[in-house]
């Protein structure tokens, strides 16, 4: 029990400390009057319309990716059901530590009788590992070529190689080592999920495309307040700050994201006020993700209730 409490308490304590340190920095150091003036000039058509469209395309690409992984498991689920669950879970991804809330999509399908837990979680784990590999790879390339964060380049390369070695070890264990019981059953699903090389390469390509849409979404938000970074710098900004946010222990990376984005934008040559305003505009993009996810969740509930009503009516007629 003490070990269980420690495992829960330590991350919460670390997250709370990081949050309050960042919050104190934001309150004391941000140039609020200048930030407000910059945000007031935002182009709402770009911020709301184009921003929401980029989120929708991001969700559609990730749903296509999930559809392929489930197909490898011989599971066929209506694309609309997958998309609604996937997009709905995005809102929880934003507000949970390590972006763990996305797992809700598996539970939604399981409760609807559309998927088994082992199949759902094996596809989910595969998605998250590929996400991590893609984001880290983009961040490493950005730090080595496009952007200097003050970190020794050898350290960056060693960390990347270590990640690749861990990934290779994991793949070896999954495909070469046999286990019994629930673990063995779960690994069997993972093997089946990743056995087709061509479909796995397509999944990786879709992952790159999906994260490219996030970059475009961030570009759109920054452009709405007249900040034009260009695609390469936007890639560096997105990948580096996303990694910082994931590792922060803070739900939604509240405070951490604002400080991290401000630091990166400042190093890219923006004035401090513009960098801080950019951080808040990108926070609004996160809120937009939550709103889009909430709309999809409502549509999912309406669809499931309608299908349940139709099924009951057909049962009564029989």
Contact, 65 vs 203, CB < 8 A? yes
Contact, 271 vs 34, CB < 8 A? no
pLDDT of residue 13: 80
Query: Whole-angstrom Cα distance, residue 124 to residue 268?
Result: 35
Q: What is the dihedral of CA 231, 232, 233, 239, to 10 degrees?
A: 100
Residue from 232, 208, 215 nearest 147 by CA: 232
Contact, 18 vs 248, CB < 8 A? yes
Low-confidence ranges of the chain (pLDDT < 50): 1
pLDDT of residue 188: 83
The contacts of residue 283 (CB under 8 Å, 6+ apart) are 257, 258
Contact, 267 vs 147, CB < 8 A? yes
- What are the phi and psi torsion angles at 274 (to 5°)? -65, -40
Residue from 240, 224, 234, 230 nearest 280 by CA: 224
What's the full length of the chain, in residues?
318
């Amino acid at each position: 029990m003490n070990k269980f409490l420690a495992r829960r308490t330590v991350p919460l304590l670390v997250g709370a400390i990081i949050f309050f340190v960042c919050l104190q920095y934001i309150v004391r150091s941000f140039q609020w009057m200048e930030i407000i003036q910059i945000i007031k000039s935002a182009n709402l058509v770009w911020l709301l319309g184009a921003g929401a469209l980029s989120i929708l395309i991001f969700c559609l690409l990730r749903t296509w990716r999930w559809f392929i992984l489930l197909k490898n498991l011989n599971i066929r689920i209506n694309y609309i059901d997958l998309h609604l669950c996937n997009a709905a879970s995005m809102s929880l991804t934003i507000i949970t530590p390590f972006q763990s809330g996305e797992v809700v999509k598996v539970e939604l399908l399981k409760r609807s009788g559309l998927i088994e837990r082992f199949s759902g979680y094996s596809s989910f784990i595969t998605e998250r590992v590929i996400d991590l590999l893609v984001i880290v790879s983009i961040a490493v390339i950005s730090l080595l070529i496009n952007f200097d964060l003050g970190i020794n380049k050898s350290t960056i390369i060693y960390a990347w190689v270590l990640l690749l070695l861990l990934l290779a070890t994991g793949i070896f264990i999954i495909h070469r080592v046999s286990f019994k019981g629930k673990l063995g059953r779960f690994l069997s699903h993972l093997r089946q999920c990743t056995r087709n090389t061509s479909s796995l390469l397509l999944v990786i390509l879709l992952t790159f495309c999906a994260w490219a849409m996030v970059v475009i979404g961030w570009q759109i938000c920054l452009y709405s307040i007249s900040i034009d970074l260009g695609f390469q710098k936007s890639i560096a900004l997105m990948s580096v700050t996303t990694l910082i946010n994931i590792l922060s222990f803070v739900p939604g990376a509240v405070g951490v994201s604002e400080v991290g984005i401000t630091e990166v934008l400042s190093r890219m040559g923006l004035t401090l006020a513009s960098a801080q305003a950019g951080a808040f505009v990108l926070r609004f993009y996160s809120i937009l993700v939550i709103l889009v996810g909430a709309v999809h969740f409502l549509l999912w509930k309406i669809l499931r209730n309608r299908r349940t009503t139709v099924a009951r009516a057909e049962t009564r007629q029989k």
